[in-house]
Structure 1
Amino acid sequence: MSHTVEKIGGTSMSEYQAVRDNIILHNRTPEQYYQRLLVVSAFGGVTDGLLECKRTGAPGVYATYADAEDDSAWEQALDNVLNRMAQINEDMFGLSPERALADSFLQERIAGIRECLHHLRQVCAFGQFQLAEQLQTIRELLAAMGEAHSAHNMVLYLRQSGVNAVLMDLTGWRSDEALPLDEVLTQTLARYDLSSQLPVVTGYAHCKEGLMSRFDRGYSEMTFSRLAVLSKAREAIIHKEFHLSSADPRLAGEDQVIPIGRTNYDVTDQLSNLGMEAIHPQAAKGLRQKDIPLRVRNTFEPDHEGTLITTDYRSPSPCVEMVAGRRNIFAVELFDQDMVGRVSHYAECFTDELDSMRLNLVSKDMNANTLTYYISGNRKTVRTLVAALQRRFENADINTHKVSVVSAVGSDMSIPGLLARSVAALNKAGVPVRAVHQSLRAVEMQFIVDDEYYEQSVVSLHDELVQTDAETVALAVA
């Protein structure tokens, strides 16, 4: 039997007992602990403290270091993270001998980072060296600390239970060179015997390409994907704190949503576009091209098989598999009477500005003289975009609206009357629809609504398109 490559998310990692009991030990004999590679994220909240909060943008060590004029602010931020990580060590190991090993590893790494940041400040005091040119390297150094800590701790923790866990440290700590990612992974894999060792792998990998500069905080999924591809894994598995379900259980209700069970990589691409990544699209690309199945499992339901994602899956009968969405989207509407016959020129200019500002395009629509782009980004950058477009097209009227995108998604949604049912459900719930997008490929149908109606839209569409149809099938089977 060939091996699996498995990624454990940060929220799950914080529930380290569940990771051990449900993922590693559950229903396995000691001989079955192996033939696996575990790629781990940092413990929940640690990367936010090292970089910045992903949800609120509150500054961590990186953001404080980049902006501070003296050392006290970023040093305090680093001390805060150190204290948090030390508390994790205490919670995991108490007074056991492993506690001393975990604390020693942590203190050595943090001391090295502190020394590095101090020296960089001193060097940049000379005019020939600019701090801005080193910030991406600092960002990667700090991010790597989170995964190094969690991987090292998990190795110690699993060894307490008789598992021959070993650390696969890809962070490049004190390394003199940066090799291409595939070369780093291939060389490192050759040092381990999967038949008798369980490598716990840092989600961050130091490499020539610079994972964070290309994928920002999606870097661990790239490490996970490339390990699966290069090692020719039988299956890639992501362990999360929830199932990949038919809707957000916080909106539709935990007792109302159902695990999807099966879907394909086409559907995961649609979810990525909505910011609900089952996996980063570039990470999914490698798995898809090598025809490696991806399974998404719930850490806290070890007996559930989760959702299997393959290249060629198509639902046995047309159906909506999931209702998902994205809030806080800006609709940027550009109207110009002179656009008629020149829409492609306007669209090209619009796209150029989006790319230059690194704004994410979620959807768009057009007619003879109007382009509307639905964009994910902060208000300040959107205003900069509008100003740039106004300079390009002086006679255009450009307006912005705050909206949400709500989508019905499935591997085959070629259902007669689906659009009419959806609009009727939204109308019944009192949701005014601003725009509708339905593609010929029948894998997604989007509704643009005012942001205040987001939750109502998700619940009403899930009730109509998922629950009602599931109940009909259940009755037919009975």
Structure 2
Amino acid sequence: MHTVEKIGGTSMSEFGSVLDNIILGKRPAGQWYNRIFVVSAYGGITNMLLEHKKSGEPGIYARYAAGDAGWVDALERTKARMCEINAGFAGLGLNVAEADRFVCERLDGIRDCLKDLLRIVSYGHFTIAQHLPAVREMLAAVGEAHSAWNSVDILRARGVNAQLVDLSGWRDTEHRPFDEVIRQAFAGLDLASCLPIVTGYTKCAEGIMATFDRGYSEITFSKIAVITRAAEGVIHKEFHLSSGDPKLIGKDRVRIIGHTNYDVADQLADLGMEAIHPKASKGMERLQIPIRVKNAFEPDHPGTVIRHDYQSATPRVEIITGRKNLMAVELVDPDMVGQSGYDHRILGHLAEWGISYVAKNTNANTITHYIGAEEPNLEKCVAALRADFPGAAIRTLKVAIISAIGSNMKVPGFMSMAARALADAGINILAVDQCMRQVNMQFIVAEQDFDAAIIALHRGLVETAPPG
């Protein structure tokens, strides 16, 4: 029996702690095996390779795609930063000269490849756009290859039989299906006597970034767990999966969840607070493989286990979370009363502009969708709605969603307690949403009330409740 374990980029940047807390820890020599580690790029590197995930600041890829000649300088800055990271691991036993050689080989090769591509395009019979997906994949791959190579070198210097499983496809001209790539990579590996260190990026015929974009490392983690039939998946994060944001609520007030289920994990993902990428968890859920979310810097704590069949023995709210920067798109039309297919027409516009919604409210003459305000086509979609529904009053309003989520909330009283907690904090509820399954109560509030609403609901529903 083995586990598949994923280490995030921020943790990888503190690799000395990763060695002490996760990979080696207190295990006696020789008891390091029967584990597979999937590693992310070091913190900040993928932002430099592609674009900043939050701010959108362009990296190598974004500059190249925009025709900005500054991509070459961005590549050199990225290479320098990766070599700087290498130097910082000299004390851990990394062969810095070989690590730098690895980085230069990959990034110099990418630079030459991208220049050749521009030269081909200059003849006029090819367009850069048709090659950009492959460019994005190639750039993303080098971040994980770098961290995986370094990890193996450091571990081997400490006597561990670490094996590099480089799924990045560097100079591999074959394009094989995702499942086949994983099966071939692990064929013949004796997990009882070696420690595979695997790149979070996988080159495959499907194009992992075309489907999952920046969530690809968790997809690789999940796929390996499913194909190798792992006993458990473990995700090492920089924090515990807690009842709320400790930075906002207070570290002394939040509780570590301990146990929950895949349904709750889906609700969290829908709000952008991913315990695991929702598309990554499905295969593990089907095979009933539990996922353990641990704090990388508290190795002795068991963390939180996500199971397919868990339900809290006592009714409780497990987590208070939410999402800011949402736009409510409200459509009011007396003519919709009793009219079949009205909502379908609205959804057709959302689909046409590639927009998904987070939540939705309806009544006899009103339909409101709550959409991420960052959606690039939102204004065009609203304009199209106004043109298609000339008799409707359509308005947009900046709002936030606050959610109380739990695996067992099917008892009277939670909704009234939540409403009272918000009222006592002077917060007006603009709308409420809850399905009959009673897993997720959602309250729509003004965006400026987000922080206060989170604190009030956590105080009213979690802090006053006995530990589950």
TM-score of the aligned structures, taking structure 2 as reference length: 0.97
2: CA distance, partners of 1:337 / 1:123: 58
Quote the offset at 1:337 in angstroms. Answer: 2.3
2: CA distance, partners of 1:155 / 1:262: 33
1: CA distance, partners of 2:138 / 2:42: 17
2: CA distance, partners of 1:171 / 1:377: 34
Aligned length, in residue pairs:
468
TM-score of the aligned structures, taking structure 1 as reference length: 0.95
Aligned partner of 1:135: which letter?
L
2: CA distance, partners of 1:223 / 1:380: 29
What secondary structure does 2:409 align onto?
A: coil
Paired-residue identity, %: 51
2: CA distance, partners of 1:355 / 1:80: 39
**1:104/1:396 CA distance change after superposition, 3 Å:** same
Structural mapping, 1:156-195, within 5 Å? 156-195=153-192
User: Is 1:453 matched up with 2:449?
Assistant: yes
User: Is 1:311 matched up with 2:308?
Assistant: yes
Quote the offset at 1:379 in angstroms. Answer: 6.0
Aligned partner of 1:415: which letter?
V
**1:118/1:226 CA distance change after superposition, 3 Å:** same
Identify the residue that residue 378 of structure 2 maps to in structure 1.
382
Structural mapping, 1:297-336, within 5 Å? 297-336=294-333
**1:377/1:158 CA distance change after superposition, 3 Å:** farther
Identify the residue that residue 75 of structure 1 maps to in structure 2.
72
Identify the residue that residue 405 of structure 1 maps to in structure 2.
401
Identify the residue that residue 55 of structure 2 maps to in structure 1.
56
Identify the residue that residue 65 of structure 1 maps to in structure 2.
64
Identify the residue that residue 34 of structure 2 maps to in structure 1.
35
Aligned partner of 1:368: which letter?
A
Structural mapping, 1:105-254, within 5 Å? 105-254=102-251
**1:36/1:96 CA distance change after superposition, 3 Å:** closer
What secondary structure does 2:95 align onto?
A: helix
2: CA distance, partners of 1:279 / 1:313: 17
User: Is 1:16 matched up with 2:34?
Assistant: no
What secondary structure does 1:285 align onto?
A: helix
User: Is 1:46 matched up with 2:42?
Assistant: no
Q: 2:86·2:94 contact (CA, 8 Å) conserved in 1?
A: no
Quote the offset at 1:96 in angstroms. Answer: 5.7
User: Is 1:432 matched up with 2:431?
Assistant: no
1:257 corresponds to which of 254, 257, 263: 254
1: CA distance, partners of 2:188 / 2:365: 61
Quote the offset at 1:427 in angstroms. Answer: 0.9
Aligned partner of 1:11: which letter?
T
Q: 2:355·2:375 contact (CA, 8 Å) conserved in 1?
A: no
2: CA distance, partners of 1:202 / 1:355: 34
Aligned partner of 1:181: which letter?
F
Identify the residue that residue 104 of structure 1 maps to in structure 2.
101
**1:6/1:129 CA distance change after superposition, 3 Å:** same
Identify the residue that residue 81 of structure 2 maps to in structure 1.
84
CA deviation map 1:17-52 (0-9, x unaligned): 111110011121122201111001110110011111
CA deviation map 1:381-424 (0-9, x unaligned): 21111012223222222111111111000001123211111111
Flag structure 2 segments of 5+ consecutive residues without an equivalent.
Answer: none
Q: 1:170·1:206 contact (CA, 8 Å) conserved in 2?
A: yes
Quote the offset at 1:438 in angstroms. Answer: 2.1
Quote the offset at 1:208 in angstroms. Answer: 0.8
Q: 2:94·2:153 contact (CA, 8 Å) conserved in 1?
A: no
RMSD: 1.4
CA deviation map 1:262-298 (0-9, x unaligned): 0000000000111101011111100000010100000
**1:346/1:82 CA distance change after superposition, 3 Å:** farther
Q: 2:94·2:154 contact (CA, 8 Å) conserved in 1?
A: no
1: CA distance, partners of 2:244 / 2:47: 26
> Per residue, is there more helix in 1 or in 2?
1
2: CA distance, partners of 1:42 / 1:392: 46
Worse-matched range after superposition: 354-363 or 259-268: 354-363
Q: 1:319·1:415 contact (CA, 8 Å) conserved in 2?
A: no
What secondary structure does 2:206 align onto?
A: coil
What secondary structure does 1:38 align onto?
A: strand
2: CA distance, partners of 1:324 / 1:251: 11
2: CA distance, partners of 1:31 / 1:157: 16
